[in-house]
Structure 1
Amino acid sequence: MVYITGDTHGDLERFKHGRLRWLSKKDTVIVLGDFGFVWDGSKKEAAHLKWLQKRRYTILFLDGTHENYDLLAAYPTEEKFGGLVQPLGGNLYHVCRGSVLELEGKRYLCFGGGESPDKEEREPGVNWWPQEMPSEAECARCEANAAANGYQVDYVLTHDAPTKFLDFTALKQGQTNRLHEFLDRLLLKLTYDRWFFGCYHKDTRLSTKAECVFCGLIPTSESHARR
């Protein structure tokens, strides 16, 4: 089964408690950005990554704002799960922006990235990287992959969200940026069953099709049942 969860921010305890303890090698967990375990390259972080690599289940993560993009860029890319990923060892993979994954007969359009609200207070290359925001090439790849699937997928997984999901809700923060605008354009073209996003540190179902996820662990099969 495929499960969706939100930002983990390098917190290993999130993987040691609850239903995650009982998952099998047939299961997949997808983290919606701000994974946080590729951050400082320390011995402690290496130990945490080694522990995650040994889980029975597969872990896939989108990128958010709490990733060290210089360290992440050092990992090779490969085609797997129907899309482009970076293997970090064992059953642990970063999902490259714009990939359409095929998992258990369902298609997942994945697009990470976000804008740190406190980036002016951060130090470039130390705790902030401009790569957190998508490039034109990454947006074009996402658009091309969506078009190749007839703009029809089962799930859309992103770190941030279109402004349509945020406007007039408590999730709205700051000004609209170019990532929001890209997701707005994508939303108009896509046919999908459910759209999950992280970023806002809340577990909030906005509609029958849109849901913000933080600490929740959502089986995608149940998301169909709840519609």
Structure 2
Amino acid sequence: MSGKTINHFMFLKLNDPFWSSPAEQRTALFPALAADLQSAGACTNFYQVSPVSTQADFLIWNAAPVESEKDEANFFERLARAVNARRQWLQPAANLWGYTRPSVYSRAPSAQEIDPFAAQRQTYLVLYPFVKTIQWYLMGKDTRQGMMNEHIRIGHQYPEIKQLLLYSFGVQDQEFVVVYEMENLYRFSELVNELRGSDVREYTERDTPVYTGIWHAPETMASIFGAEG
């Protein structure tokens, strides 16, 4: 991926006042929130999380290029303004974010890399924070490269599954945010199961919690969460 970008995943719960509001107010939330975020310059996508998980009701993926020192500050200010205007209904549950950068272990661009600014999104999104052990960083680069080659080879056996690796060193508790997109969630589960047997797995300190979302247009989100029961 050319150029540095920031990608931010905001997990939100809908408060009790939202559920007790009239249906027309509930259905208006998602299109209005999407319009505010997009007008602020972010590439915005919505994902249904509940009832896949109780961690949140939905998540918002916002992406933007980073070209100057103030871009991150402006990005977070715009997100805060859009969400805070609706805090009577919205309760932040978690945030994960990081930067794109060229891979250390794969020199050539990958056809499996997610484009955050693509016009079309795949149905399923899975992401999680990731931390490696101290021992991993103390090994030589050639040793690490050898183990990563196995990891990459397994991933290539599932070409329909796309990945985005975000770097969070020093700005969040994790080192990376690992993001996947796919149309077949079962195939993704098979991929993860196979990766568990790779040598590099020994050097994983943490890769939870796992978040799974289902992409919807804002109008569909409105019908899911805003319709009369």
TM-score by length of 1: 0.25
> Which is richer in helix?
2
Larger radius of gyration: 2
> Which is richer in strand?
2
